[in-house]
Amino acid sequence: MALEVATDSAGTRRIALNRPVKHNAFDAATIAELTAAFTEAGTDPAVRAVVLTGNGPSFCAGADAGWMRASATLSEAENRADALRLSDMLNAIDTCAKPVIVVAHGFVFGGGVGLVACADLVVVRPSVQFRLSEVRLGLIPATIGPFVVAKIGASQARRYFLTAEDFGAEAAVGMGLAHIVSDEPEVQVAAWLNALNLGAPGAIADAKTLVRDIAGQPVTDTLRADTATRIAARRASDEGREGLGAFIERRQPNWVTP
């Protein structure tokens, strides 16, 4: 199997890329497994958060060389279908109803950057090395493009999509691709998991959707009406009533686990 998957008693689903000899470069099987894993995690009520890591020396060095070599023999239509499967995988991570935390280290190249861009919370080791290397192979980062540009912005994309320069942990934080640099990433993961435990699961899912829906949108009457509708629905929800009741009664809401 290309992945190791486990869930602890607190509802944290840990998904580890498990092709260490290949620096967790993904192939068709890995893409299919990741798509299934995140689709399942997003709908499993027992899962509160997902942590994505990579076993071995790197988080993910992009696409497997053998898989890329095989793509050169495919027709344009077959390559399009292949690319759509990769896009489906990224979308499954990006739209997962549960918070997604990524811990990145070692090489994070090409599609590996796409994985990081789809996460909600990202901690990286100081020695991490990023590269959007597609143009050096005569390709473009098209499939990962919408997710990466949404995270780092057009200006940074215009630089790194074209130059394929390496960049490190501090640059990744500076452009918004990562949030924290740490020699002890699991300490940061634990802090985030503790914070997420205090939030209502449904509210967290809706908050993720809210960010995706309003990012980059002008503040129009339509948008304001939409956001008013969303908060009204939340206030009337079971979670909203429970959260307000817990606040007034000075107790923990029922979604907080010990």
Mean pLDDT over all residues of the chain?
Answer: 96
Q: Minimal CA–CA distance to 149: which of 117, 185, 104, 122? A: 117
Give the tens place of pLDDT for each residue, 48-95. 999 999 999 999 999 888 877 777 787 888 889 989 999 999 999 999
Q: How many CB atoms lie within 10 A of CB 230?
A: 16
**pLDDT at position 63, please?**
87
pLDDT for position 99: 98
Cα gap 153→172, rounded to integer Å: 12
Q: What pLDDT is attached to residue 140?
A: 96
Please say whether the beta carbons of 17 and 24 come within 8 A.
yes
Rg (C-alpha) for the chain, rounded Å, is 19
* Residues 6+ away with beta carbon under 8 Å from 95: 42, 208, 212
Please determine, for residue 188, whether its predicted confidence score (pLDDT) is greater than 90: yes
What pLDDT score does 17 carry? 98
pLDDT of residue 200: 98
d(CA 90, CA 96): 10
Q: Which tokens hold the place of 243?
A: 């959260």
pLDDT of residue 153: 97
Distance (Å, rounded) from C-alpha 65 to C-alpha 235?
51
Mean pLDDT for the stretch of residues 98-111: 98
The reported pLDDT for the residue numbered 67 is 78
Whole-number pLDDT of residue 71: 77
Q: Where are the alpha helices (DSSP H) in 12-127?
A: 28-43, 65-71, 76-94, 111-117
DSSP string, 110-174: THHHHHHHT-SEEEE-TT-EEE--GGGGT---TTTHHHHHHHHHHHHHHHHHHH--EE-HHHHHH
In angstroms, the CA 210 to CA 138 distance is 37
Q: What is the mean pLDDT of residues 206-219?
A: 97
Q: In 185-252, which ranges are continuous DSSP H helix?
A: 185-197, 201-214, 221-236, 238-249
Say if residues 45 and 7 touch (Cβ distance below 8 Å).
Answer: no
Give mean pLDDT, residues 108-115: 97
Q: Residue range 166-184: average pLDDT?
A: 98
